[in-house]
Chains A and B, each alone.
Chain A
Amino acid sequence: MAKIADTIIIGGGIIGAATAYYLTLKGNKVIVLDKDDSVGNGGSSRNGGGVRQSGRDPRELPLVMYGIQHIWPHLSELLDADIEYMQAGNLRLGKTEEHLRILQALTDRSTSAGLDVQMIEAKQAKKICPELSDEVIGASWCPTDGHANPLLTTLAFYRKARALGARFITGEEVMGLNKIKGHVRQVITNHDLYEADHIIVAAGYESRKILESVGIDVPMTQIMLEALVTEAQPEMFDQMLGTAMADFYGHQTRHGSFVFGGSSGFETTNKDNGHPIAASITSSCICRGIMKYFPALQDVKIVRAWAGWADIAADGIPVISQVDEVPGLVVACGFTGHGFGAAPAVGKVVSQMITGEDLAVDMKAFRYDRFQAKI
């Protein structure tokens, strides 16, 4: 089969798959390459499923709000797949005055950017979610936040894009890119050579190594995050939940199981063994965190704990940008552990960058050349 396309996307996660979908809709011929065996085996399948606006860096708000207003509500329809999107709000809980101060600061940061998030009292929080511990004294509440199934959403974008003609090839590791006569053109894998006028690098942390070949760096580090999954339970609450001190975050899925993320404090130094592997102490820590706020869940059984690497951009928000000095190149990585909720909007906007249309959202804040020294 031909190795030439209109656009080559490096990275078969949700960013790559969503972008492939939007591009293919527009008649663009797309090849997606991923070094892993499976589509979406990175952060796309290793996140808490949050589709949220609250708690974000205000610079991200226009992009994610666009997605929640214009794409998420009918995404299942668009993709012909039930991706389990539930918009039932986001409660961020606090037990002490210090917690409430933190939540207030997060709230103020977002309201000034136009988000409908507010502080509420314990009584109101309990009305929204009756199983809360009595020790909760207040919360921030964003009614337009929600959650979805990241595994299904990623694979639904992939399925639809593939059905429309996008060509996905897994097991292909990209070693670097080549410019031909001033324009990025070639993708070198360890087996082959592919060519396109446009190349998108959406390969998470591995994007950094690939971009070296064309003299571009995205300042990123990696941290290992973990989550745990419970057995199915009767329906308890629909909201996305979190805490001021980030003891845990999570939601109950359509299936009935709970997915809870959390941290042990060692995320920046956790190591893996060739696969992202949970550390021996993290699940226990997350459980203690959950039970502080939901004692009702203490008898629920954990069936699985997983881990994944998050690509952390130096200033906390991703790079989603055309690269002026490498014509034809678009970079979309460094999602810093909260890429899922933004992904459909990112896919749309990146496809617009490729086809030269007006962008649905002002993307200046995400430019690749924004990183400046502190003094």
Chain B
Amino acid sequence: MKRYDLIVVGAGPSGLSAAIEAAKYGLNVAVFDENTRPGGQLFKQVHKFFGSKEHKAKIRGFQIGQDLLAEAKALGVEVILNATVTGLFQDKEITVKIADAICHYKADSIIVATGAAENTVPFAGWTLPGVMGAGAAQTLMNLHGIKPGNKILMLGSGNVGLVVGYQLLQAGCELAALVDASPKVGGYGVHAAKLARAGVPFFLSHTIVQAKGNDHVTGVEIAQVDENWKVIPASKKYFEVDTICMAVGLSPMAQLINMAGAKMETNPQKGGCVPISNAYGETSLAGVFVAGDVAGVEEASSAMIEGHIAGVSAAAYLGFIGKEEQISRYKDLESSLCKLRQGMFSLENRGKVPSTTEEGYATANNLLYQGFCTEEEVLRFPGTTKQVGVHAVIECLQNIPCNPCQEACARHCIKIGEKITSLPSVDEEKTCSGCGMCVASCSGQAIFLVDESYADGYASVTMPYEFLPLPQVGEIGWALDRSGEAVCKTEVVQVKTSPVFDHTNLLTIKVPVDKAMSARFFKGGVFHAIHK
């Protein structure tokens, strides 16, 4: 039987990272994945990642997947795709279904990086065709180029619901509503803001009552819930939709490590049934490690670091690196992981509603409870300054681990500092060149260039724009505010595209100067202003 030093199950961000780390120390590594493409969840992520450079910030998810695969292969890692690991047996033996055969392999160490799968929420009518997970919709759109539906309701305001909701808009679908039983937005404010200014209505403190239709979804009924999660009958609302997406969390796919006899636990903070593991990826089985979502649902950036950690653990277990090097490498990786696990959305802060940011600014509550910030909120944060001429306005009002904006500005106008969860601030003393790099580099699409002296009585607002078809210069349309309401008619005065912007276009519109701090989105063509 062929024996490797290390077998990794799963070629997602954690699995490939683990393979890369181990291969660097000289281990002979094989990675098996059941999919046709590498990268796990990454290969359908079309948005730019957060974090900092070491966490691959600013790079689009699918690109990270491809980069990891190339790096692994260059190090001599065997990556076998279309290979389903069907069992993890005793003595570190696996069986893998490859084409029409079951192949047996053994390894001296194993890393299980099988990720997590979507949760579901049952409601009357949930088995009708048209009800699907948000991840499933994402796979349809981003992998197979198929619209999941035409008119969609999204359940769940965590990052998955918000990000997939935006991608549904990009795919040309209409998002009728974004619903969550919680009174506040679960994911990053900047993700919510992208949807709100595009006109997507948020219904927080609401739940789905039933999906309607005979042989497929034709509509959905939602209603408000009280503080005991009970439906308020008088608040029922009906939407004509053909698709309902559920973004209600993930659960680890721990079946493989479970069958091998690892001690398991039910840990709600980690997403459900997980193998008992420590910070080094060790399980109760000697030589069998875990990394990524299977060990605890988090996200791709932390999964990658956990993969590296598990790779170090496997290498140390087999004597490929000494104790000193192991400890030093753990330290670096743990520090990198720590940077991600801070801020408003960190595990320790989950469920808390802070009254101020770390710096002491009063929390932007409208952003939290409505999905968009008010002009008043934006004005009191350090991302907004009063300057003559073009300058950046950064509408990033929460402590999240992210700093590509700081690196983007050649003139150092933007500052975050050592702690990457700090609020970005704009230095009034520096002069902006108007290049727009910061606008394109912000993964949250939260940076705008505003020039209040653009023309007599007019201001220009430059926004990140990722929709097709691109508006043309001279096109007349409506400027929408942060809540998606039309504030004035507007004209497109510039459309800038550049390879260095990586598919984030810069759209500049001309608005009356008193709308400079409210106009934040452009709707062209035949568009009827929404009345909220």
B-binding residues in A (CB < 8 A): 271-275, 277-281, 284
Residue of B nearest to A275 (CB): B261
Task: Please name 9 pairs of A and B residues whose Cβ atoms are closer than 8 Å in the assembled complex, sorted by A.
Answer: A271-B90, A273-B261, A274-B261, A275-B261, A277-B90, A277-B259, A277-B260, A280-B87, A281-B104
Is B95 an interface residue when CB atoms closer than 8 A count as contact? yes
Minimum Cβ distance to chain B for residue A225 (Å): 16
Please tell me the number of chain B residues within 8 Å of chain A, measured between CB atoms.
10
Report the Cα distance A274→B259, complex, angstroms.
10
In contact, A277 and B102 (Cβ under 8 angstroms): no
Chain B, Cβ-Cβ closest to A279: B89
Query: Within 8 Å CB of A278, what residues of B?
Result: 87, 89
For A279, list chain B residues within 8 Å (CB).
89-90
Instruction: Please indicate the chain B residues that have their CB under 8 angstroms from the CB of A284 in the complex.
Output: 102
In the complex, what distance in Å separates the CA atom of A43 from the CA atom of B153? 49
Name A277's contact: one of B89, B95, B104 (CB within 8 Å).
B89
The interface residues of chain A lying within 8 Å CB-to-CB of B261 are 272-275, 277
Contact across chains for A280 and B259 when beta carbons are under 8 A apart: no
**Which residues of A are found within 8 Å of B33, using beta-carbon distances?**
none
Q: Is the CB of B260 within 8 A of A280?
A: no
Smallest CB separation, A72 vs chain B (Å): 34
Which chain A residues border B259 with CB–CB below 8 Å?
Answer: 277
Q: Output the nearest chain B residue to A281 by Cβ-Cβ distance.
A: B104
The 5 tightest CB contacts between A and B, nearest first, are A273-B261, A280-B89, A274-B261, A280-B93, A273-B90
Q: Which residue of A lies closest to B94 (CB)?
A: A280
| Shortest distance between the CB of B92 and any CB in chain A (Å) | 11
Task: State in angstroms the CA–CA spacing of A335 and B225 once bound together.
Answer: 57
Q: How far is the CA of A227 from the CA of B204 in the complex (A)?
A: 50
Contacts of A272 in B (CB 8 A): 261
Question: Besides the contacts A277-B260, A279-B89, what 8 more A-B pairs have beta carbons closer than 8 Å?
Answer: A277-B90, A277-B261, A279-B90, A280-B89, A280-B93, A280-B95, A281-B104, A284-B102
Q: Which residue of B lies closest to A280 (CB)?
A: B89
Q: Which of B87, B102, B104, B260 contacts A273 (CB 8 A)?
A: B260
Looking at the assembled complex, report how far the CB atom of A324 sits from the nearest CB atom of chain B, in whole angstroms. 42
Q: Which residue of B lies closest to A274 (CB)?
A: B261
Distance, CA A279 to CA B104, complexed state (A): 12
B109 to chain A, nearest CB (A): 17
Interface residues of B in 69-101 (CB under 8 A from A): 87, 89-90, 93, 95
A-contact 0/1 string along B90-121, CB 8 Å cutoff: 10010100000010100000000000000000
Chain B min CB distance to A286 (Å): 13
B258 to chain A: closest residue by CB: A275
Q: Which residue of A lies closest to B284 (CB)?
A: A274
Chain B nearest CB, measured from A215 CB (Å) = 35
Roughly how many angstroms separate A280 CA and B94 CA in the complex, as a whole number? 8
A274 vs B90: C-alpha distance in the bound complex, in angstroms?
11
Q: How far is the CB of A304 from chain B (nearest CB, A)?
A: 11
Q: How far is the CB of A30 from chain B (nearest CB, A)?
A: 33
Residues from chain B with Cβ under 8 Å of A271 in the complex: 90
A271 to B261, CA, bound (A): 12
How many whole Å from B86's CB to the nearest CB in chain A? 9
**Most chain B beta-carbon contacts within 10 A, residue among A273, A274, A279, A281:** A273
Considering the chains assembled together, what is the distance between the CA atoms of A370 and B251 in angstroms?
55
CA–CA, A277 and B89, complex, Å: 8
C-alpha spacing A274/B93, complex, angstroms:
17
